[in-house]
Each structure stands twice: as structure tokens, then as C-alpha cells.
Chain A
Amino acid sequence: MNYTGIRNNETIPISTIPELDYSSFLELNVFTLLNTAGSHCVSYFGFPWFDKIKLICCIAKDEQNSICISSSVIDMKQPLPSFSNYKLVFEKFEREIHENFGINYTDHPWLKPVRFPFNRFDKSSNIANYPFFKIESEELHEVGVGPIHAGIIEPGHFRFICNGEQILHLEIQLGYQHRGVEQLFLDKKKLLQRVVLAENIAGDSAAGHTVAFVNLWESLCKFQPGRDLQLSRTIALELERIAVHTGDLSGMCTDVAYQLGSAVYGRLRTPVINYFQKWCGNRLAKGLVRVGKNNYPITQTLADELLVLFEEYEKDFEEISEELFSLPSTLARFEKTGVVTTEQAALVGTVGMSARMSELKRDIRFSHPHDLYPELRHEPVLRNQGDVYSRGRIRKKEIDQSMGYIRELIQNLPSVEAADQLGNPIPNSFAISLVEGWRGEICHCAITGDNGDLIHYKIKDPSFHNWLAMALAVRNNEISDFPICNKSFDLSYCGHDL
């Protein structure tokens, strides 16, 4: 075998990952493994390995619920053919490897900076001199937006090339949010520090990233979480999905000037995040998820309150949704706006909601289920138009689905068992954890050294894949439709920049 097949949340000795020469490594990942619709790259990264770089590629096989791990050790100075030249899904990953270690790809189509990390290889490249794509033309003009935007959102720069009102091309330049998160995972040695870091990777996905981290860490320590822990984590993820989807529907209404929808969805979100506060003391679920222990088990009272909340929420949610998705003025703005075709989605390797809107069946809850998802037998909600309307409808349907799951899960509350003692991470290991956050697939990978210390930590937010889909979606749309396109994807800047 030239790769090791593992399951989600499995820890293996790093020595069991086959180490291939670069050309076989390329051959395997680009041509052999990515051969079915259900195969996609969940992470591909490099890290210092003695005086060389070790590359690890993780290809998920959705049909087999397994992840194929392979590796190759390369010399930093040696120019290499790129994976991206054959399959565009590797584009961002290779840019990152290039940016971090200076690996020179000879045939990469778009070898530009990703996020200008503090430890980038080429210190002379900085965020103020990003090499934008340019067109020399009398007719066309450029529009630059950001890094600071009009509303209260995170920074990022959008550079449009337009023909009149029409967008021909959008280039997205990120990196402004770079806080050095991955390095901090190594530098901060206390476990609680790392959990808090995970909670702060992306505030709208506090549950998503923290569950990814704790599942990974528990796997590294051979700790088996009890049912009450898994229940809390599953509910936290689904509740986060409901909260953010509701907020996004509000934002989408704002961007098409449907004031009533904006206000109603906005206020519907409030009791959901307030529920997090009742449960764990924080409206965005920070403090809720911990390694090896459950500070806030779901009690019968909490479960009952949730049922009451859903009952009240549902009435108004269904009413406003019915209106939003039948109102001619909103439909005129939603339908056929910001389209990503199935082919495009597959080409750039979108994940999560941004894949499902274009009929790509990508959903970790279905393909690599963890915590209590195996019991839920999740069936992803799919659409096939890939437009703003689809992204709105998916949110609506997924909220209904999530409420159903939570109702099912809290029917029988498990008793809270005293957890086992948490041990130390196994030395010289590799572990991977995949979680379907509301935005899509979150992937955390860890590698430990001789004494069990972390020697590498790799985070991938779904936005890493999906920003390019957003850039493609706005092509040929009017520039005035950019805000609604952007909001309908609602991608993360900090999750991307790390």
C-alpha cells in the first residue's frame, strides 16, 4: 500500500504513513485517489522534518468513510511539478506550502501569497504589495474594496475588474486577520490554552472548531468520551448551525433591502444564542466544549427549555420563511444570482453548504460521522442551482433538519458518568479530526514528537476551499449584487487567515 486508510478521529504512528518519492506521491494523490465524486482533499500541508520538508496529503473517500494518508519528504530547494496543474483543488494548499517554505512549483497556475504569515519564507513579500491580476484596457475599470468594509465585519480586500456595472473578475486578497494561530498551538503548552485557542479560531464556529480540537486531542490521548459528552457536542454543533443560519438569513434580507425579514430573522437568532448562554454562560458557546470533561451536561430542565424554544421559534420562522421565499422582490434578487455550477464546485473543491448548493454531496455528518451523528443517519440537503436562492433554501431546510435532530437526541438524556482520567498524547503520532461545522468541513491535524509534545498543528477552515467559489460566483453579475453573493456564502476571514 502506498497510503494508509484511517477513520475520522483516528490516531496512528507517524511511521505507518508511507513515505513516497515525490512523483509517486503526485501520481497517487492526483490520479489514483481523486478518482470518484466522493473523493476530495481535506488537508494537504508541509512541516519541517529534519532539514527537509515532509508533505502530508489527506484524501477523504466519502463512500468508504475513510481518509487516505500519504507522505513525501522533499528538499526545500528542489523545484517541483505541482498537483494543481492537474487538479485545481490543490491550488490553495500548494500556495500555502510555497508561502511557508519557499517550495518552488514549476507549473503552478496561480502561485500567489495566501495570508502573509509572520513566519513566511519570503519576508520581502508583504500585504501592501500583493500582486493583483491586471488587465490593460481602455474600457474596463478596477474597483477595490477593503480591507475595512462598510459594515461591522472582518477585513479582507476585494479587487474587481468590471465592464461598466458587470463584474468580469474578482480577486480576493486575505491575510489581514493572521494571528499566528497554528504556531500558538505549539507555543501555548497548557491544554486549556489550546482549547481557548480553538474557541477563538472563528467566533461564529466556536463549537465547530472546538469540537474538532477536543475530538482530536482525546483521540491522541486514547480517551473515550462518554455519551453525555458526545450528546453535548452534537447538540452544540447543531444549535450553532441554527443560530448562524438564522443570522445569515437575516443578513441576506438586509442585502436585498427586505427590512422585515432582516428584523424577524435577526430577532429569532437572539433566543437561540441566549440559550447557549443559559447552557454554558456564553452566547457563542465559548466555554462549553472541553477535553475529557463536560462542565455543562444537558439537564432535563435545559432539554425542556430547548423544546419550548423550538416551538416558539418554529412558528415565526416558518411564517417569515414562507414569505421570504415567495416574495417576487426577493426572488428577483436571489434567483440565478451568484451561480456556481456543479462542475465549478467540483473543480475548486468546495465543501459544506457551498458544495451542497451545487449538488455535491459533501457533508462530514454523512460521510465521516463522529459523536452521535452515526445514530442520526444524516442525509444532506442538496440543491442544484448553485445560486443565492439555493444557499438561502439550504439554510432554511438545514435549520428544520437540525431542530429535528436535537429533538430526537434529547428524548433520552444519558446519565452523566464520571469521565476517565485523561492521559498524555501518544508520542510520534498523527491524528486527524473532521467536523461538519455550519459552514462546512473543518479539519484539524496534529503530529506529536518523541515525548508526546505537539510538533505540528494544522487547521483547515471550510472557507479555505470556498473563497474561490465565491470569486467565481460573482463573475458576470452586477457589482451591486456582490454584497448579497458574499453574504450568502458568509465565509470566514479569520478561519482562513489563522
Chain B
Amino acid sequence: MFNNLKIVLHQGKQYIPDIATAQVPGIFRGRPVISTLNVDEAELVEICPTNAISGNPLSIDLGRCVFCGECALAYPDKIKFTTDYKIATNDRQKLIIAEGKDEPVDLNPELIRKEISSYFSGSLKLRQVCAGGDGSCEMELNACSNVNFDMGRFGIEFVASPRHADGVVITGPITSNMAQPLQICYDAIPEPKIIILAGTDAISGGIFEGSPALDRDFLRKYKIDLYVPGNPIHPLTFINGVLQLIRKRI
């Protein structure tokens, strides 16, 4: 008992006080900034493993980018990854970062369904479905609820049953073998319900795009309420994105 109390005392304060302004350590690859410098575009486009870069004018699609960092290493004056982790949005177009633009990625209020803030602003229960995820986004989603990020303080929690959930968080490129379980899980969630795609694999297939082992039909059927890019997602990206989605707007 005393040992345990001593251990508690030794931990100090571990939680991050302000989720929206916290700084991430080191050289995190968050929102890229692309300069208008003239470079060999074709070569730059060719570097990218997931066709996330398009030319004329140059842009990076964060829904396809696996944040390998190689483009920025090859063309450091053209592309810089900033530590801005707030890159979640509900607008697929906003994930495409154009050259010469240095603006935050945010949500498009027009696209947020009304029932989301009226039902979920104080409490949101989510069911996670991993459909071919490599375990990394899953680990980061778990980290959202640890003592550091402590997402529970905002009333956002992961639950064990779809029947208790207000929405589904999908990770992974959606394998054919998981297509049916995903559908069954989604159908079991009571209305109204939301869909969040966590990680580049879920948003576009990532490095697995085009694999014959995938079945992404599910995504064509429903409106996606939030895209959270990353490989894996950063807990701060996820929490801030979800908060922006559910908090009441004036």
C-alpha cells in the first residue's frame, strides 16, 4: 500500500494541460509547407512512394502521404514539414496542401452534420475497427486515452460494443477479409452515428493502394465525418480533430 502511494507520488503530473497548444518534441512531420521555388517537378513527383505529390502547381495530398519525409530531404528548400499536428479535417479537399500556402488545416463548418454537435458535444463514445491496420494507428488511438493525452477528460472514449457507440473509427486500408465484419459493426451502431478515418491507410489505402486484397466499397456508401492523416496518426491530431468536430459553434 505505502509502496504504491510512493510510486504515485513519484509520477508527478503527467497529463498535457492544454491539448490545443501543446508542442510536440523534435522533428515531427506534420503539415507541410511548400515554397514557390522552381524545382524539377517531375523528379519530385517521382520520389513519392504513394503518389501523394502532384505537379503544376505542386501539391501534397495528406490523405495519401505516408510522411516518409523523403521529398523534404531531397528538396529541403521546396518542401518543409512543420510540427503543426492539427491536420485533421472533414473536407477531403482540405487535405491537399498547395504550394505557396501556409494556412492551418481545419474543418469546414458547412460539412458538419447538425446532429453531431447537438448529440455528441459533451460525450462521444467510439467503436474502433481495425481493418488491415498495421497496429500503429491502433497504438496511437490507445495512447489518446493514456495518462499523458487523457482524452477521457473531454468525454471522448472508446467503448467495447458498437451498441454503446456513437460512431466508428476505422484504421487500415480495409481488407476484403474485414469488409463484412466492418459492415456488421457499423450497422450495429445506433443512429445518429459518425465515421472517422484514422491514418493514411484508411483514407486512401496508403502504400497498400491498389492491392487486390482490399475492398474499400464501404467508404463509397457513407459520408465521412473526419479524416485524420498520419502514418500513424499522432494522438494530438486525433484529439484536436475530434474536438473541432463535436464542439458547439456559436
**Which residue numbers of A lie inside 8 Å of B, CB to CB?**
116-119, 127-128, 147-148, 150-155, 175-181, 183-184, 187-188, 190, 192-193, 195-197, 200-204, 206, 247, 260, 263-264, 266-267, 270, 274, 277-284, 286-287, 295, 315-316, 319-320, 323, 492-494, 497
Contacts and interface: CB of A to CB of B under 8 A. Distances in A.
A267 B147 contact: yes
B3 to A, nearest CB: 5
Contact of A323 (B7, B137, B139, B208): B7
A49 B231 CA distance: 37
Given A179-B132, A277-B24, 13 more contacts: A118-B176, A151-B160, A152-B141, A176-B131, A177-B172, A179-B172, A179-B173, A184-B208, A260-B4, A270-B146, A281-B69, A295-B73, A320-B7
B240 interface: no
A270 B148 contact: yes
Interface string B195-212: 000000100001110111
A200 B211 contact: no
B134 A203 contact: yes
Enumerate the 9 nearest inter-chain pairs by beta-carbon distance, A residue then B residue, closest first.
Answer: A203-B136, A278-B26, A180-B213, A150-B160, A203-B134, A203-B135, A118-B213, A193-B49, A180-B211
Interface stretch (B54-62, B96-104, B105-113, B177-185): B177-185
B47 A192 contact: yes
A179 B158 contact: no
B206 to A, nearest CB: 7
B10 A287 contact: no
A117 B140 CA distance: 28
B138 interface: yes
Contact of A260 (B8, B24, B49): B8
B36 interface: no
B184 to A, nearest CB: 9
Nearest to B145: A152
A38 to B, nearest CB: 31
B207 A278 contact: no
Nearest to B29: A281
A222 to B, nearest CB: 23
Nearest to A288: B69
Given A152-B158, A203-B133, A204-B136, A295 B69 contact: yes
A153 B130 contact: yes
B232 A281 contact: no
Contacts of B231: 200, 282, 286
B160 A177 contact: no
Residue in A175, A178, A282, A286 whose Cβ sees the most chain B Cβ within 10 Å? A282
A184 B28 CA distance: 28
Residue in A127, A188, A200, A316 whose Cβ sees the most chain B Cβ within 10 Å? A200
B68 A183 contact: no
20 contacts: A150-B160, A155-B131, A177-B132, A192-B70, A193-B50, A196-B50, A200-B201, A200-B206, A203-B134, A203-B232, A204-B139, A267-B146, A277-B25, A277-B26, A278-B26, A279-B26, A280-B27, A287-B69, A316-B7, A316-B10
Contacts of A492: 135
A188 B210 CA distance: 10
A202 B24 CA distance: 24
Nearest to B72: A281
B66 A196 contact: yes
A323 B3 contact: yes
Interface string B122-155: 0000001111111111111111001110000000
Contacts of A117: 213
